[in-house]
Chain A
Amino acid sequence: MIRSEILKEIAPILRDQLVVCNIGIPSQELHAIDDQPTNFYMLGTMGLSSSIGLGLALAQPKTVISIDGDGSVLTNLGTLPTIGNNMPSNFILMIVDNGSYGSTGDQPTYTGRKTDLAGMARAAGCDNVVEVQDVDTGKALQEAIDAQVGTVMIVKCDSGNAKMPVITMDPVVIRDRFMKAVEA
């Protein structure tokens, strides 16, 4: 499965949760598949989906799911120790590990070679790390939500992108809409 197929499958689960979504095609796909006020779309700032999600989860009680990418986590590796040492029970970091920089044309990342993100997350101090295959994402995500313990999910899938339109919503509108949904 590619990322867009996973997002389509888990859209009904994501719908009721606060979601911070990674820059580029992941956000475009989620926006096209199921736009919700509870989605915070990143339009730039590669690497910070996990950090924004962690800050949000620490600041309020609702469950927060950060949808991230292997390339983005690799560019902000310092996030893993920060998560590992401060993990709140309401945070799920779901890393879509397609072994590539999908948005920029599927150039391979090191996770497609020798680098193991689950091992790195564990070594960084994350206690609940689960590695799942694409087809099992929905089940694993629902389990993580129900478990109410902070979880890092590494979702192994194929590289590839769906053709979706660019998000034209103004960033302040995205943010304002999202903040109202957080508060609701």
Chain B
Amino acid sequence: MSIDKKITDDLVANDISFVTTVPCKQLAGVIEEIDQREEIFHIPSNKEDEGMGLCAGAWMGGKRPAIIMQNTAIGVTINTLATLIQYYRMPLPMLISYRGELREPVACQVEMAVHTKALLAQMNIPTYHFHNQSDVEELDMILKYTFMCNKPVAILTDANFWGGYGDQ
């Protein structure tokens, strides 16, 4: 089974029915997959803090949300994570492409990669790092954990996890 399908199956199995995304090349497959699943309402957002607002509203309306975004968006969303998601204690699984790690071809991506884990740690956000494809086995548990504790939780997925960049 493809990882894109496995990830989407786990979202559906955990009753996640509202997903917002801002694309990353690594996330193209999973975004395409969730877009096709009728159990999931997919609403693209224009900026990740906007997306987190949508997720906060959806959760208060009784739907389990998730956001799919690139790690550079940590720089965009710190205020929203602190003053909305954490302050009001809301669950939010964040499936994050971890650009700027091993096998990264674009040098600028490294500039946010070096801050990513430090920022998440500073925010006390539980953080998981998927490096090998088999790490995806933990996703189901991570999602259950997120909705158990009502916190934002980061799942960083690097290029090695996604199988590299092909010929980019």
A interacts with B = yes
Question: Is the Cβ of B54 less than 8 Å from the Cβ of A55?
Answer: yes
Give the contacts of B45-94 with A (CB-CB under 8 A). Answer: 45-47, 49-63, 65, 79-80, 82-84, 87-90
Q: Which residues of B contact A50 (CB under 8 A)?
A: 53
A171 engages B60 (CB within 8 Å): no
Specify which chain A residues have a CB less than 8 angstroms from the CB of B147 in the assembled complex.
none
Interface residues of chain A: helix, strand, loop or mixed (majority):
helix
| Structural contact, A172 and B88, CB atoms closer than 8 A | yes
Question: Which residues of chain A from 41 to 89 have any CB-CB distance to chain B below 8 Å in the complex?
Answer: 42-45, 47-60, 64, 76, 78-79, 81-82, 86
Bound form: Cα–Cα A56–B41 in Å? 13
Whole-angstrom distance between the Cβ of A14 and the nearest chain B Cβ: 17
Q: Is B46 touching A57 in the complex (CB atoms < 8 A)?
A: no
Whole-angstrom CA separation of A55 from B58 in the bound complex: 4
Whether A44 and B46, one on each chain, are in contact in the complex, defined by CB atoms closer than 8 angstroms, is: no
Query: Bound complex: CA of A40 vs CA of B88, how far in Å?
Result: 11
A179 to chain B, nearest CB (A): 5
The 3 closest A-B pairs by CB, nearest first: A55-B57, A59-B61, A51-B53
Binding site for B on A (CB under 8 A): 20, 40, 42-45, 47-60, 64, 76, 78-79, 81-82, 86, 171-172, 174-175, 178-179, 182-183
